Amino acid sequence: MDMNHPGFDILKEVFNKFADKHAGADLKGRITRSLAAGGQAALDKGLQEFPQTYVKQVAQDFYDMVTSQETADGISTAVRSYDEEKIKGALDTLVSSLKEDENAQKLAKSLKDLLAKTSTDDLENSLDAALSGRSMGEKMIIMAFFEQAKPILDDLRNSSEEEVAEKIKEMADTIPTDAIAAQVAAITKEVTPERVSKQAHDVVGGLPSPAAISDIVHGVGGVASKKLGEIAGGADAQSKLQEILSEAKDIVDQVVSNDNVQKKTFNKKGGQEFDL
């Protein structure tokens, strides 16, 4: 991927602003002093070095960065800069890799293993979930490949890996990268700053507020410090660890629940925007 275009320059500048704001906070010194204290003292020192107001401010600044207009502009510019020609080039490269013997053999083995365990209907139903981490272009290539292969899946089940590999190389030539590139390009043009900004605000709005994050960090830290002190006094370490995990979960659940109630209360007041 070409990293030299305006979209990535904008995003880099946004992140640099966030990093610069906290660069003078002596993070290294705070962490070093906390670790040097050791055990329960380390946790207590950490909570002292990173007070709730500090944790809340860092979380607020991070949310502000994610939802900023600059970030929306950067993402939109980065995505929309990939025109149809660039996208087709990337897709052609992907399709060409399917025709290489080594890749075709690997894919043939994976396909044979999958077909041996999965019916055609189940394979089709699970394909979307399996592609969740892939790029848009990769998803469309694989879906196009599946559509080409679907009529002959039963034959492929009874074929050798070598035969399946040869069939994969044949089908790769029939994948319409030009049509797929046009579709992907059309979709990328819809990634406007307004859409990116709305999605970012929706995501952040569903996350715990900075105040809640601060309460969680210090609440869990306080519990852990207390239990470490009890362990140092001779209590069973394993049971205290389970208590830490249990009480930490209770703290997180309670803080998040209260946070959600507060958000709803703010939102009901004449459409007042919740203060992150």
pLDDT more than 70, % of the chain: 80
Contact 47, 221 (CB under 8 A): yes
Residue 87 has pLDDT above 90, yes or no: no
* pLDDT confidence bin for 168, thresholds 50/70/90: confident
* Mean pLDDT within 191-197: 92
Residue 240, C-beta contacts closer than 8 angstroms, at least 6 positions apart: 227, 228, 230, 231
Residue 172's φ and ψ, nearest 5 degrees, are -60, -35
* pLDDT confidence bin for 17, thresholds 50/70/90: confident
* pLDDT confidence bin for 41, thresholds 50/70/90: confident
Alpha carbon 67 to chain centroid, angstroms: 16
* Mean pLDDT within 19-30: 67
Q: Which long-range contacts (CB under 8 A, 24 or more apart) does 254-259 make?
A: 255/208, 255/212, 255/215, 255/216, 255/219, 256/208, 256/212, 256/216, 258/212, 259/208, 259/209, 259/211, 259/212
**Lowest-pLDDT range of 27-41, 47-61, 134-148:** 27-41
* pLDDT confidence bin for 262, thresholds 50/70/90: confident
* pLDDT confidence bin for 275, thresholds 50/70/90: very low
CA dist 105 and 99 (Å) reads 10
Confidence (pLDDT) at 9? 66
Contact 66, 204 (CB under 8 A): yes
SS3 132: coil
Length of the chain: 276
Confidence (pLDDT) at 276? 40
